[in-house]
Amino acid sequence: MSPWLRVACGAALLALAACSSPPKEDPNSQASLDKLYAEAKEDLNSGAYDRAIKSLEKIEGRAAGTLMAQQAELDLVWANYKSNERAAALTALDRFIKLNPSSPAMDYALYMKGIVNFNEDLGLFGRLAGQDISERDQQAARDAMLAFSQVVDQFPDSQYAADARIRVDYITNTLATYEVHVARYYYNRNAFIAAVNRAQRAVADFPHAPSSEEALYLMVQSYDKLGLTQLRDDAQRVLKLNFPQSVYVVGVEEKKKAWWKFW
């Protein structure tokens, strides 16, 4: 056989071998995406969040613009949240909310944004120091309250609305207590103007919170220290009107009565 004939035969055999091998699976096909998503869900259920995140990110890119991509984005939020990757979870949520404003899962996305920001665990050092949640920086709590409030206002019939309402009330009381804590801090250091400002903020922003009682009392005391008798008396009237049985009202009046009796 001539050299040229051998070359021709070899090329033909290679071509036949190529034709007989199975076609390579398209990673963007629906079958491939379904398989990848099934693997991701299995990893989520087993707690293998790192693997799940990688798979979900692939799905998000390959299935962009589809319902599967939306579901992958929400699953990605959950995986990052469970991995304690709060910043990544919030980034994914903000992206979902921006790109899918009419999504039927918007109530869940807003609820999850509240959950990611809502954290009542003080951690080891907070517990050792006797720190209360109301004593820490409250920006995350404010963001959580905003998200939960959106669920309640925009989706009152959502399955997440009832829990969101409870969390709004809890966070409201926490934020109000924080403002009073700061006001008390300033008052104890004779920074009476700053104490008044924080106490006023607590009353104005959270008028129905239980801690507004102490906020009004701190206003009364601070105005008294500043020699602003008219403002002191105004704050005292508001305190008596809203909390007639307050220890800050009854206790003070009993002390005055006992003092006059003594003399």
Establish if 181 belongs to a structural domain. yes
State whether 165 and 246 are in the same domain: yes
Concatenating the DSSP letter of every residue in 162-183 gives HHHHHHHHHHHHHHHHHHHHHH
pLDDT in tens, 188-214: 999 999 999 999 999 999 988 999 999
> Length of the chain in residues, anyone?
263
b/e 133-157 (16+ beta carbons within 10 angstroms → b): bbbbebebbebbbebbbbbbeebee
Comparing 31-35, 102-106, 168-172, 198-202, which segment has the lowest mean pLDDT? 31-35
Q: Using CA atoms, how far apart are residues 33 and 44, in angstroms rounded to an integer?
A: 16
> Are 59 and 36 spatial neighbours (Cβ–Cβ below 8 Å)?
yes
Establish if 15 belongs to a structural domain. no
Task: Return left, alpha or beta for 257; rule: phi > 0 is left, psi -120 to 50 is alpha, else beta.
Answer: alpha
Establish if 46 belongs to a structural domain. yes
Establish if 172 belongs to a structural domain. yes
User: Domain limits at 52?
Assistant: 28-84
Number of structural domains in the chain: 2
Q: Using CA atoms, how far apart are residues 160 and 166, in angstroms rounded to an integer?
A: 10
What are the start-end ranges of the E strands in the chain?
none
> Are 119 and 136 spatial neighbours (Cβ–Cβ below 8 Å)?
no
State whether 263 and 159 are in the same domain: yes
Establish if 213 belongs to a structural domain. yes
State whether 257 and 164 are in the same domain: yes
Q: Mean of the pLDDT values across residues 60-85?
A: 90
Q: Using CA atoms, how far apart are residues 231 and 237, in angstroms rounded to an integer?
A: 10
How many whole angstroms from its chain centre is CA 123? 17
Instruction: Mark which of 84, 104, 119 sits at the end of a domain.
Output: 84
The CB density around residue 126, as the number of other CB atoms within 10 Å, is 14
> Are 176 and 211 spatial neighbours (Cβ–Cβ below 8 Å)?
yes
Per-residue pLDDT band at 63 (split at 50, 70, 90): confident
pLDDT in tens, 132-187: 545 556 788 899 999 999 999 999 999 999 999 999 999 999 899 989 999 999 99
Q: What is the pLDDT of residue 2?
A: 53
Q: Using CA atoms, how far apart are residues 247 and 225, in angstroms rounded to an integer?
A: 20
Q: Which amino acid, residue 79?
A: A
Mean pLDDT of the chain: 82
Establish if 12 belongs to a structural domain. no
Rg (CA), the chain: 31
Give pTM, 2 decimals: 0.73
